[in-house]
Chains A and B, each alone.
Chain A
Amino acid sequence: MRPKFEMLDNALIERILAEAFQLIKDPGVRVAPYVEDLLRGVGIPVKDGVAHIPEPLARTALQSVPREFFLYDRNGRPAVHYGGNHVHFDPGSSCLNILDPQTQQPRPAMTPDLVRLIHVAEVLPQFAAQSTAMVCNDVPPEIGDWYRLLLVLWYSEKPVVTGAFSAYSLHTLIDLLAIESGGREALRRNPRAIFDVCPSPPLNWSEFASQNLVDLARAGIPAEIVSMPLAGATAPVTLAGSVVQHAAECISGIVIHQLAQPGAPIVWGAAPAIFDMRSGKTPMGAIETAMLDVACAEVGKYLGLPTHAYMVAGDGRVIDAQVEMESGMSAVLGALAGINMISGAGMLDFLACHSIEKLVIDAEAIASAQRLLQGIEPRGASLATAMFTQTGLAGDFLKLKETRALFRQEQHFPSSVIDRGLPQMNGGGILDRANQRVEELLSAYKRRPLPPDREEEIIAFAEREGQKFGLKRVGEILSRVPDFEGAPF
């Protein structure tokens, strides 16, 4: 039996949905001019930039959303299964800072940092997907979004959770993905990436977000709504009230998306948080934030939709017991809730900072959560009596053939990050062990090249797009570095 964690009963989910449908009608949802005609075309009134969406139309849109879909790896294999209770993890995304591996102090993230993180996440089996984890501060902000995707596509074969920073740049990112996939049709058929799209709480689909929803739907590339109510600040202070707002934001986004292209893949995603009334911070590691994540996903599951949440992030400013307690707890809760994609590993300081050392520690929490999901299985006709028949009361279970045959299925063996008393542990702290693990993973990483013609095309793309912002060496970086070293610019 697979263990499961639930926050809401069906009656409460129905109440949440009833109020969410009420909200999208009145007061309605602020939408951008880009989608007003689309909405009016099916009879949704839009007045002064606010759409008043009737429940039946919203339910129709919800019906046309695919219940499941896959993201594919570079080799065309389905690697992430959105839908049902499939659970996957990816690193947190779009971080501007990194904890320096040497000093453990935060500093702006640079190209080599992102490349190192990609290498580590590529080797770790706990991460089914990569994310465009950092914004590289050594390139102009104007190219920040496609540049990080370029690095991920160059160094990774895994699917990617990404996002655009503007309505315009989305198309640059799609162009890049299409080159890597061997054309637009190949990309549509076997999407390698999913794009996060965020409404602005409360109930506002900005020009950029509205346009991204429509353009992704039409391109056939999966979208992931990341609604982020902040309970008590930009959303009702009650957890249930914030879940209602989350549902209303997701449903209204789905309406826009499905009107653009019925049947296009989209995910019911969330990055909610409580708003700490002492500090004004939004703690990602608070238990109430995890409760919101789980509850939001449950509503999506009730509607039969693929789900996402932002978890496995801690709030302390260094790697310490607090950060890892928070990250570990939410990894377990997210997994037990059956959330399809759980983003956030590696992040700390209220999502302001990434850490590759934390990423490898989080990977251990994720591995434990994945083991937990396998539950306790009866193996064989007898649970224990057959083994007792062999050993009697002597208790020599270590000698039994069943022990040897089954222990690997029963026990998860963590990496050297976790101290299990092995002689080689040397008694160092977890940060030392994490550092060592990062080095091991970096050594284990080996880049697999793309077909030569695609590599050339990607390099040409990077040169062309980089030159628009005065960068002359973007393509060169890729062509000269099977193993990236040093600062590029």
Chain B
Amino acid sequence: MPDDIFSLMRDSIIAGAPDTATYLARKAIAAGTAPLDAINNGYVPGMHDVGEQFARGQMFLPDMMASAEAMRAAMAVLDPELKKLGADRPTSGVVVLGTTKGDIHEIGKILVGTLLTAHGFQVHDLGADISGEKFAAKAQELSADIVGVSALLTTTMRNQKTVIEALERSGIRAQVKVMVGGAPVTRRWAEEIGADGYAKDAMSAVALARELMNQKTGPRTPEPIGSGKVV
């Protein structure tokens, strides 16, 4: 029975079916399955599979968005159960994402968030037009590992620097890695403002986030993009 339900959970993620994912999570809890088992044996392998298929060009972004939605639906059931047990959700790292102050463009950041989620990161998307202080406050609240700052415009790109300054003011800069991206952003700009990394697109943001986590926690066995392993 558990193997069957884990297989169905995996399939619900691959199919991008949030209702099924929710139903299966509730059913598993009712049947006494440990929430961590449901996550590690059912849903995470589903996201793992999705990440691999996307990397191979066999899945497309709308499919992946649907899978991420199904994952969120399952976690909405399982997270409270984990908390009841005093356990934490397994994660590759905690990421706070947002678009800089004055910039309302979200799509690139949403893609990064979706791909990071698919690869086992716990992502908190603050949305667009976010001040440095809000980034810092959320990073502090969640003890974030990484802050990702997006900007689409040359004019708002400058506010990426204000996020780093806000992290410094709040005294958590040393604990948080900062990655920046967006159409006008370059590696040179990232270096100039003191960011820890720059990603040209959503897929390279995943590789970068892993590298930054390695820097934080020490080297691990490298994982290919799409492996989605949750540590």
| Size band of the interface chain B makes with A | 20 to 34
Note all chain B residues with C-beta closer than 8 A to A137.
Answer: 188
Determine whether B197 belongs to the interface, using a CB cutoff of 8 Å to chain A: no
B60 to A278, Cβ gap below 8 A?
yes
- Are A108 and B107 in contact, CB atoms less than 8 angstroms apart? no
Q: A108-B188, A280-B202 are in contact. Are A96 and B154 (CB under 8 A)?
A: yes
Which residues of B from 93 to 120 have beta carbons under 8 Å from A?
104-105, 107-108, 111
* Closest CB in chain A relative to B217 CB, distance in Å: 28
A278 partner, pick from B61, B107, B108, B157, beta carbons under 8 A: B61
State A233–B57 Cα separation when bound (angstroms): 18
B201 within 8 A of A: yes
Chain B proximity mask over A262-283: 1 for CB below 8 Å, otherwise 0: 0000000000000101111100
Given contacts A200-B104, A280-B202, contact A141 B158 (CB under 8 A): yes
Which residue of A97, A141, A165, A204 is within 8 Å of B186 (Cβ)? A97
Q: B34 near A: Cβ within 8 Å? A: no
Residues of A within 8 A of B201 (CB): 279-281
B171 at the interface (CB under 8 A from A): no
Complex alpha-carbon distance, A108 and B191, angstroms: 14
Q: Which of B57, B108, B186 contacts A96 (CB 8 A)?
A: B186
Taking the nearest CB of chain A, how far is it from the CB of B74, in angstroms? 24
Q: Which of A165, A230, A279 has the most CB of B within 10 A?
A: A279
The distance from the CB of A170 to the nearest CB of chain B, in whole angstroms, is 12
Number of A-B contacts defined by CB within 8 Å:
45
Is A232 close to B, CB under 8 A?
yes
User: Could you tell me the distance in whole angstroms from the C-beta of B189 to the nearest C-beta in chain A?
Assistant: 9
Identify which of B108, B155, B188 contacts A166 (C-beta below 8 A). B155
For A277, the chain B residues whose CB sits under 8 A away are: 60-62
Q: When the two chains form their complex, are residues B154 and A165 in contact, meaning their CB atoms are under 8 A apart?
A: yes
B183 touches A (CB below 8 Å): yes
Cα–Cα distance between A141 and B192 once the two chains are bound (Å): 13
How many Å lie between the Cα of A308 and that of B157 in the bound state? Answer: 28
Taking a contact as CB atoms under 8 Å apart, the answer to whether A233 and B154 are in contact is no
**B61 in contact with A200 (CB, 8 Å):** no
B194: A residues at CB distance < 8 A: none
Contacting B154 at CB < 8 Å: which of A135, A230, A232? A135
Q: Are B62 and A232 neighbours in the complex by a CB distance under 8 Å?
A: yes
* Chain B residues positioned under 8 Å from A97 (CB to CB): 186
Check A352 against B104 for contact (C-beta < 8 Å). Answer: no
From B60, B111, B154, B203, contact of A141 by CB (8 A): B154
Which residues from chain A contact B158 at a C-beta distance below 8 Å? 141
Contact pick for A233, options B60, B107, B184, CB 8 Å: B107
Size category of the A interface is 20 to 34
CB-CB under 8 A from A278, the residues of chain B are 57, 60-61
> Contacts A96-B186, A277-B62 known; A141 to B105 CB distance under 8 Å?
no
Q: How many Å lie between the Cα of A93 and that of B152 in the bound state?
A: 16
**Shortest Cβ distance from residue A115 to the other chain B in the assembled complex, whole angstroms:** 20
B104 touching A206 by the CB < 8 A rule? yes
Q: Are B60 and A204 in contact (CB under 8 A)?
A: no
Q: In this complex, what residue of A is CB-closest to B108?
A: A280
* Most chain B CB neighbours (cut-off 10 Å) among A108, A200, A234: A200
B182-227 at interface with A (beta carbon < 8 Å):
183-184, 186, 188, 201-203
Docked Cα-Cα span, A386 to B219, in Å, equals 84
A144 at the interface (CB under 8 A from B): yes
Name the residue of chain A whose CB is nearest to the CB of B185: A96
On chain A, the residues within 8 Å of B186 by CB distance are 96-97, 108
Q: Which residues from 51 to 67 on chain B have a C-beta closer than 8 Å to any C-beta of chain A?
A: 57, 60-62
Known contacts A135-B154, A141-B155, A200-B104; A280 and B111 CB within 8 A of each other: yes
How far apart are the CA atoms of A166 and B186 in the complex, in Å? 21
Interface string of B60-93 (1 = CB under 8 A from A): 1110000000000000000000000000000000
CB contacts (< 8 Å) of B154 on chain A: these are 94, 96, 135, 141, 144, 165
In the bound complex, do residue A230 and residue B107 qualify as a contact, i.e. CB atoms below 8 Å apart?
Answer: yes
Q: 1/0 per residue B127-166: CB within 8 Å of A? A: 0000000000000000000000000011101100000000
A96 to B108, CA, bound (A): 18
Please state if B105 and A200 are interface contacts (CB–CB under 8 Å): yes
Among residues of A, the one whose C-beta sits closest to the C-beta of B60 is: A277
Q: How far is the CA of A94 from the CA of B184 in the complex (A)?
A: 10
Q: Which chain A positions have C-beta within 8 A of B203? A: 279
CB within 8 Å of B: which of A104-138?
A: 108, 135, 137
B206 to chain A, nearest CB (A): 12
Report the separation of the CA atoms of residues A97 and B189 in the bound assembly, to the nearest whole angstrom: 12
Rounded to whole Å, the gap between the CB of A469 and the closest CB of chain B is: 13
Q: Indicate if the CB atoms of B61 and A234 lie closer than 8 Å.
A: no
Give bound CA distance, A132 to B154, whole Å: 15
Q: Provided the pairs A96-B184, A233-B107, A279-B201 are in contact, do residues A141 and B157 lie with their beta carbons within 8 angstroms?
A: yes
CB distance from A350 to the nearest CB of B (A): 8
State A135–B154 Cα separation when bound (angstroms): 9
In the complex, which residues 430-451 of chain A have their Cβ closer than 8 Å to any Cβ of chain B?
A: none
Q: Which residues of A contact B105 (CB under 8 A)?
A: 200
Interface positions of A from 187 to 218, Cβ below 8 Å from B: 200, 204, 206
Q: Mark A341-353, 1 if CB is under 8 A from B, else 0.
A: 0000000000010
B64 to chain A minimum Cβ distance, whole angstroms, is: 9
Q: Contacts of B62 on A, CB cut-off 8 Å?
A: 232, 277
Give the complex CA separation of A280 and B57 in angstroms.
Answer: 12
A residues near B184, Cβ cutoff 8 Å: 96, 135
Chain A positions within 8 Å of B111 at CB level: 280
CA distance A466 to B229 in the complex (A): 52
CA distance A96 to B184 in the complex (A): 7
A-chain residues with CB within 8 Å of residue B155 when the two chains form the complex: 141, 165-166
Task: Please judge, given known A-B contacts A144-B154, A278-B61, whether A204 and B104 are in contact too, CB under 8 Å.
Answer: yes
Q: C-beta contact mask, A333-372 vs B, less than 8 Å → 1, else 0? A: 0000000000000000000100000000000000000000
CA distance A2 to B188 in the complex (A): 49
**Contacts A/B (CB < 8 Å), 5 sampled:** A97-B186, A141-B158, A200-B105, A277-B60, A279-B203
Q: A108-B188, A275-B107, A280-B108 are in contact. List 5 more A-B contacts (CB 8 A).
A: A96-B184, A141-B155, A141-B158, A144-B154, A277-B60
B residues neighboring A (CB under 8 Å):
57, 60-62, 104-105, 107-108, 111, 153-155, 157-158, 183-184, 186, 188, 201-203
Measured CB to CB, the residues of A under 8 A from B are 94, 96-97, 108, 135, 137, 141, 144, 165-166, 200, 204, 206, 230, 232-234, 275, 277-281, 352
| Top 3 A-B residue pairs of the complex, sorted by shortest distance between their CB atoms | A277-B60, A280-B111, A277-B61
